[in-house]
Every structure is written in C-alpha cells, then in structure tokens.
Structure 1
Amino acid sequence: MNKLTTYFLLLSCLYISVSSAQVAPGIKLGYNESSISKTRLDSKAGFYIGAVIDIPISTRYTLQPEILYSSQGGTSNSPDYGDVEIDYLSIMAANKFYVGPNKGFHFNLGIGLDINLKNNFVNLFNGDGDGEISPFDVVVFGGLGYEFDFGLTLEARYKQGTVSVDFFGADDFYEEDGSNLNGVFQVGATYKFKLK
C-alpha cells in the first residue's frame, strides 16, 4: 500500500508540474542527409516535417514529443539498381538540456520509433529483389540547438537506426557483411506557438 501511495504522489506531482508549465505546440521542418551502412549506396538528400509539443519541466530541462514525416534512403551509383527511397513516420521523444536558465543554447538526446510508410524495394531490382525491408526502426539521436525568445529554434542532430533495413536482393549491393543501418544527419528549424 505504501508503494501505491508513493507512485500516486509522484504521478500527481508530475501532472501538476506539466499542467502548470507553459506547454507550447509547434511545427518542425528541415533537411535530411541519410545513408544506409555497409551498402554501396551514397548518401541521399531528403527532408522532414511535422509537429512538436514543448513541455518545460524545469528552467534547464524540456521534454519535446515529436511526430514527423521523414524522407530517407540512399543514392545509387550503379546501373544495376536504383536509388533506395524509404518514407518513415517518426515518433520521437527529445530531451532538451539548456546550458543556462534563460533557454538559448541547448543539447538534445532522445529515442524514437520510425514506422515504414512507403518504400520502393519491390522495384529496386526491376522486380528481381527477394528481400524485405524492415517495417520499423528504433532510433537514438543527439544534437544541439539554439532557441530564440520569439519561438524559433535552430537545431542540428544525428539520428542513428538500430534495426537493420536488410532488404537488398542483390549480392553486389552489399559493401560488407553486417547490419544495414539508417544514419541521418538533420538540420532544421522549429517554431513554437505560445498559448498564453
């Protein structure tokens, strides 16, 4: 019973702190430079766009849930196969740690789930591919940014996949054995709307 009471009190305190915080929704968009490890693909340019919710927990820490559309993949340099195009729905939880109490410069770390919305693997080898792409990817990310007083944040981060894409159906597609992981460098902007 004591444990249940303790859990209830902790949840109540968290609810009160989040409710009293100045929660701010926002929009986020930017540039992707994506690659798939251990393949003969070059990096591919893409973009991301979506929505965020900024939840200040303290003067130096903010939790920022995000839901984004992210265009990823790799660019082919061979006539035997085309570019790899993978569109993900990214559900992310960013932890923002501010250097000073007045916001501004910050570091961010987080984890997320990338859900495969669409890809071109069926047509990649003119219908001859026999592999399958993973339907999801669990990602970790980190980066840095700067938040201005008027709601604009500029940010750069690197997102690393942990689940092998592993759908390639041609032996010469691989550069070496091992997991074929997504890696994405992202740079972009977020604009937060004040509710009060």
Structure 2
Amino acid sequence: MKKLVLVIVMTVFGLANLFSQEIQFGAKGGLNLASIRGDNSGDFESVTSFNFGIMSEIPISEKFSFQPELMYSGQGYSIEDTTIKLNYLNMPLMGKYYVIKGLSLEAGPQMGFLLSAKNEDTDIKDSLNTVDLGVNFGIGYKLDNGLNFGLRYNLGLSDINDLEGVTNKNQNGVFQLSVGYFFF
C-alpha cells in the first residue's frame, strides 16, 4: 500500500512538472464534521476533527484546473458516549471550474487509506476496510495573494466494515471547511 501511495504521488506531482511555470503548490488545513451513514446508523452522532495536507493546482485552461491533494483526515462517529476515531490519508483528485475570478466549483474522486482506528483505547483497525473510495463536491475561493478557502463534502462509496458475518453496510460522510495558502 505504501508503494501504491508513493507511485500515485510521484505520478501526479511528476505530471505537474509539465506545467511547472504555472503550477502552484500549497498547504491547507481545517475542520471536519464527520459521520457514518448507512444501515442502522440512526443513533450515530457526528464528531469534529481536523484535516491538513499539501496540494497543487495545475491550470488546464482559463476556467478549468486540476488540483491533486495529499491530506490527513480525522473522521469517525460517536454512539452512546463512545467515540470511534478513524484516521485516513486521503488523496483527492479535484477538478476545479472557475465560475468567476477566484470562485470555483469542485468535484472529483478520492482514495483514502485507513491509518488507524480506535474505539476509545482499543485498536479496531482489523475490523475495518483499509481502503476507502469516495467522491468530493465543493466550492472554493482563491485570493490573488494565494490565500484560499474551501467547503467540501466527501461522500464515501466504500463499505467501511470488514468483519465476517457483519451485514451492515456503512460509509463515511465528511463535511470539510479549510483554509489554505499557495506558496508559489
């Protein structure tokens, strides 16, 4: 899995060199409001966590850009005063369409790798799928000085459960609010 992540990151950022004069690199971070949806998830409550990582923006045309990211994302849920903490390394591949200068509509697929999973102090990673596929939808605003803001929803498509005999199908759902800065 580590080799796959490395190959994907090197490929995405290697392609960026083709557009090296216009490409921008940056970092961002923010808050997550995460939950689980699916079978028997009515009693699950949202949890608040954070996200941070690196990104690049590769202009394709005046109105369209490609924005690959490598993000840490704290996710999970709460049930009956017990918090389940899920930590992912996510790789969103976002297409950005600039409606007007600075304001973009964003969408794209995401692949996430489960780094850790805890039920209070108990490690539960072995009972969950280690790969989480999803799709993101959002809106962003970028200032001329490189400062940018984003609001995004990650709609998980993969069942997170990986226990034999468990028939419940549950997916991640995460609202993300972020602030970032493109350095160059």
The aligned counterpart of 1:110 is 108
CA gap of 1:54–1:97, structure 2 versus 1, over 3 A, is same
* Residue from 143, 147, 155 that aligns with 1:152: 147
- 1:93-141 Cα offsets, whole Å, 9 max, x none, are 01110013xx3111000101010000015956xx9x8x81111100101
RMSD (Å), alpha carbons: 2.6
* 1:131-170 to 2 correspondences below 5 Å: 132-166=127-161
The aligned counterpart of 1:9 is none
Confirm whether residue 90 of structure 1 aligns to residue 79 of structure 2.
no
Name stretches of at least 5 consecutive residues in structure 1 with no aligned partner. 1-14, 172-176
Name stretches of at least 5 consecutive residues in structure 2 with no aligned partner. 1-14
The aligned counterpart of 2:64 is 61
The one-letter amino acid of 1:120's match is: K
- 1:64-111 Cα offsets, whole Å, 9 max, x none, are 110000000001225xxx2111000001101110013xx311100010
- 1:53 deviates by 1.0
* 1:18-57 to 2 correspondences below 5 Å: 18-19=18-19, 21-37=21-37, 38=39, 39=41, 40-57=43-60
Task: Select the structure that is richer in strand.
Answer: 2
Confirm whether residue 192 of structure 1 aligns to residue 182 of structure 2.
yes
Give TM-score, length-normalised by structure 2.
0.80
* Residue from 117, 120, 131 that aligns with 2:118: 120
Q: Which has the larger Rg?
A: 1
